[in-house]
Amino acid sequence: MMPAESSVLGRRQFLGTCTGAIAGAALTGCASVMARPVTAIDGRISLALADHPELAAQNGAITILPSGTSDPIIVLRTGDQSYAALSAVCTHRGCTVEVAGDRLECPCHGSQYNREGTVLEGPAERALGRFTTTLDGARLIIDLGRGR
């Protein structure tokens, strides 16, 4: 005779369920900072603008992660035919900044930057790293070796 299955969660099952729920909620909250992997060739990234419709919108933005690196880059449309590529790493303590309308904000300590990477509000004291961008027809070229 088999024992009847209990409908009461054991301690381990309960903790496992809670851990999974917390992890799922945390990952959902990080979805806005998920970086798209992109291939860097010879220290450059070539983004086909047609493949990134977010950049067609005024003040559009995407976060990318170049191959061979661990630091994301935020690509921002700054005008009709102009773009900026900024390090997404806060200069205060290294957290990943997020796009928040016309600003970039650090969720860790509250630093805020404008869309050019300049500090608007500390505790960060230095601007975000900036990469040279060139618009070549329908492609945005980001030079990873010549950051300013």
**Residue 76's pLDDT is what?**
95
- Residues comprising the chain, all counted: 148
Q: Do residues 119 and 111 lie in contact, with contact meaning Cβ atoms separated by under 8 Å? A: yes
Q: What is the pLDDT of residues 95-136, one digit of tens each?
A: 999 999 889 999 999 899 999 999 998 899 999 999 999 999
Q: What is the pLDDT of residues 37-91, one digit of tens each?
A: 999 999 999 999 999 999 988 889 999 999 888 899 999 999 888 999 999 999 9
Which are the contacts of 37, defined by CB distance < 8 A and separation ≥ 6? 64, 65, 67
DSSP 8-state code for residue 41 = B
Query: How far apart, in whole angstroms, are the C-alpha atoms of residue 133 and residue 144?
Result: 9
**Residue 27's pLDDT is what?**
35
**Residue 146's pLDDT is what?**
53
**Residue 133's pLDDT is what?**
95
Q: Which domains does the chain have, with CATH numbers?
A: 33-143 (2.102.10.10)
Torsion of CA 101, 143, 67, 87, to 10 degrees: -40
